[in-house]
Structure 1
């Protein structure tokens, strides 16, 4: 049997967990459920300090953030097969969640969609975002696009958003140091443990805007393939950093095809390769 878009139907639903960009909210995905194939259930994982969780203090350290989100992710999927999709900073968070789940001996996602960011191994280490000037932060936001100019000119809006933006940009900036520490931890695991590689097994599809200056270097984008032993494909779309909005139909079509390809029931049954809980 096939669905209305001509793709084969699958008997079991697949949960797609979505994570948003720095300073953003999972409202970015508000209409994804209605546009994805019937076998996909879109669910949102909002970071502390963002969106409806704005009253909660944001994290500025990776271990504490991922420890909390890993618990929330497991509760969200409830043992069902799932996939992850992250836009910009959300891609880094999703990557860390996969490593955290593997270290816990939990089920791995069947697929990971990394959007609007270069390979984490190619990112620059930056430590200044918590204390940088307001003008530098605004200049960065203007370059990336996605935030209306009138909002960036609104002092009240900027004051409201600055704490969460500082926290998020800081996390992105120090991520290279975090992955270096994780790699050291893998290298020091006791002999005989199967979970001794910094590489994942999950298939990855990378989504990039052709006009996004943050991902202009194709070698930095292609380096995502070094994060997994599974297949990795790169998809280019018209638009800048927020092509996920401007090229939404094309993005959703690519996501749907990837989920169909990698979300088959036989693949979903595969246990995670990792340290036993």
Structure 2
């Protein structure tokens, strides 16, 4: 008998029917795991007894492979996950399944693969686009990855947003949109200058002056370059404050022209 735990709950693999009956005298063991339901105890193809912790009648997988297309679904035990096909052999060798949540016997840590990847994938690019057009992170992930669980989407979206390549893709998309709208650094500088010159709020004047200092390099070496750019220069200013400063500038300019 072997034991492994998931979230503090113990799950067992029994070596034979006698050992199983000693612990579960009233339970039945199904002979074919492919036709069994979630929670059933079944015989594995290597002759041991294990419980089906999860049973799905379909396979949703990003790779369009024949063994997924023609599968009846999949099952998960405490040992690993198995595609439900007549050719699939369910074993109970823990050493052959470093990650019980994948069908592969070679993938150890999918989270590590996400973190070590250098280039954005098609799904990551779609996720970034969804973020840029205004979706929340959870909905952006659910749409890009066809994820149904909001809880799972929240966790995975958080991981993606910590990856530099994904954030660069998001910023690139923002810059592309900004460019199409005629927003560039000259535009941003002019807006900040308006705030510094014409706002009646001393705090806004001070903050806008600091932001101008960051852009032109007079704020010292402690400023991180990533904080400077179209994504960061207006942090702390509301749209009303920016629009108000621009409106004040126009009024002052108009008065000056009339005086002349």
Taking structure 1 as the reference length, the TM-score comes to 0.20
Higher relative contact order (CA 8 A, sep 6+): 1
In our comparison, the structure showing a higher alpha carbon Rg is 2
